[in-house]
Chains A and B, each alone.
Chain A
Amino acid sequence: MALSRISSRSNGITRPFSAAFNRFISTDSTPITIETSLPFTAHLCDPPSRSVESSSQELLDFFRTMALMRRMEIAADSLYKAKLIRGFCHLYDGQEAVAIGMEAAITKKDAIITAYRDHCIFLGRGGSLHEVFSELMGRQAGCSKGKGGSMHFYKKDSSFYGGHGIVGAQVPLGCGIAFAQKYNKEEAVTFALYGDGAANQGQLFEALNISALWDLPAILVCENNHYGMGTAEWRAAKSPSYYKRGDYVPGLKVDGMDAFAVKQACKFAKDHALEKGPIILEMDTYRYHGHSMSDPGSTYRTRDEISGVRQERDPIERIKKLVLSHDLATEKELKDMEKEIRKEVDDAIAKAKDCPMPEPSELFTNVYVKGFGTESFGPDRKEVKAALP
Chain B
Amino acid sequence: MSSIIHGAGAATALSTFNPVDSKKLTNLSVRSQRYIVAGSEASKKKSFGSALTVRHSQKLIPNAVATKEADTSTSTGHELLLFEALQEGLEEEMDRDANVCVMGEDVGHYGGSYKVTKGLADKFGDLRVLDTPICENAFTGMAIGAAMTGLRPVIEGMNMGFLLLAFNQISNNCGMLHYTSGGQFTIPVVIRGPGGVGRQLGAEHSQRLESYFQSIPGIQMVACSTPYNAKGLMKAAIRSENPVILFEHVLLYNLKEKIPDEDYICNLEEAEMVRPGEHITILTYSRMRYHVMQAAKTLVNKGYDPEVIDIRSLKPFDLHTIGNSVKKTHRVLIVEECMRTGGIGASLTAAINENFHDYLDAPVMCLSSQDVPTPYAGTLEEWTVVQPAQIVTAVEQLCQ
Contacts and interface: CB of A to CB of B under 8 A. Distances in A.
Interface string B1-41: 00001111111000000000000000000000000000000
Most chain A beta-carbon neighbours within 10 Å: one of B132, B183, B218: B183
Contacts of A145: 182-183
Contact of A173 (B133, B173, B239): B173
Nearest to B217: A367
Nearest to A366: B183
Contacts of B185: 154, 156, 161
B220 A368 contact: yes
Contact of A148 (B6, B141, B146, B181): B181
A385 interface: yes
B132 A164 contact: no
Nearest to B126: A214
B216 to A, nearest CB: 11
A176 B181 contact: no
A94 interface: no
Nearest to A379: B272
A370 B146 contact: no
Given A203-B141, A385-B270, A376 B220 contact: no
Contact of A175 (B11, B138, B181): B138
Contacts of A12: none
Interface stretch (B42-50, B260-268, B353-361, B373-381): B260-268
Interface string B149-161: 1110000000000
Given A142-B182, A377-B267, A179 B146 contact: yes
A196 B345 CA distance: 44
B283 to A, nearest CB: 15
Contact of A161 (B10, B127, B145): B145
Contacts of B169: 169, 172
Interface in B84-127: 101, 127
Contacts of A148: 180-182
Nearest to A365: B183
B371 to A, nearest CB: 29
B141 A367 contact: no
A359 interface: no
A367 B178 contact: yes
A23 B106 CA distance: 66
A183 B127 contact: yes
Interface string A348-374: 000000000000000011111111111
Given A369-B241, A379-B229, A144 B180 contact: yes
B329 interface: no
Contacts of B132: 210
A203 B179 contact: no
B317 to A, nearest CB: 15
Contacts of A156: 181, 184-185
B91 to A, nearest CB: 18
Helix, strand, loop or mixed for chain A's interface? loop
A371 B9 contact: yes
B301 interface: no
Contacts of A376: 11, 236, 265-267, 270
Contacts of B143: 176
B370 interface: no
Contacts of A169: 141, 168-169, 172-173
- The residue in A143, A173, A382 that gathers the most chain B C-beta atoms within 10 A of its C-beta is A173
B397 interface: no
Nearest to B184: A156
Contact of A370 (B10, B137, B140, B180): B10
Interface in A39-79: none
A246 interface: no
A176 B273 CA distance: 40
A136 interface: no
A369 B10 contact: no
Given A161-B145, A176-B144, A376-B265, A366 B101 contact: no
B240 interface: yes
Contacts of B5: 364
Contacts of A146: 182
B351 interface: no
Contacts of A296: none
B184 A180 contact: no
B73 A378 contact: no
Contact of B178 (A368, A378, A381, A389): A368
A207 B142 contact: yes
B197 interface: no
Contact of B142 (A162, A172, A382): A172
Contacts of B146: 176-177, 179-180, 183
Nearest to A389: B10
B148 interface: yes
A365 B7 CA distance: 10
A202 B141 CA distance: 13
Contact of A374 (B150, B265, B273): B265
B372 interface: no
Contact of B11 (A166, A174, A365, A385): A385
26 contacts: A146-B182, A147-B180, A154-B181, A154-B184, A161-B148, A162-B181, A163-B180, A164-B172, A166-B172, A172-B137, A172-B140, A173-B142, A173-B173, A175-B138, A176-B142, A180-B146, A203-B138, A206-B133, A364-B6, A364-B7, A365-B183, A369-B178, A380-B273, A386-B11, A388-B10, A388-B11
Closest A-B pairs by Cβ, 10 of them: A176-B145, A172-B141, A206-B138, A176-B142, A206-B135, A173-B145, A145-B182, A386-B11, A144-B182, A369-B241
Given A364-B5, A386-B267, 9 more contacts: A144-B184, A148-B181, A152-B181, A163-B180, A173-B144, A180-B151, A206-B139, A373-B239, A377-B265
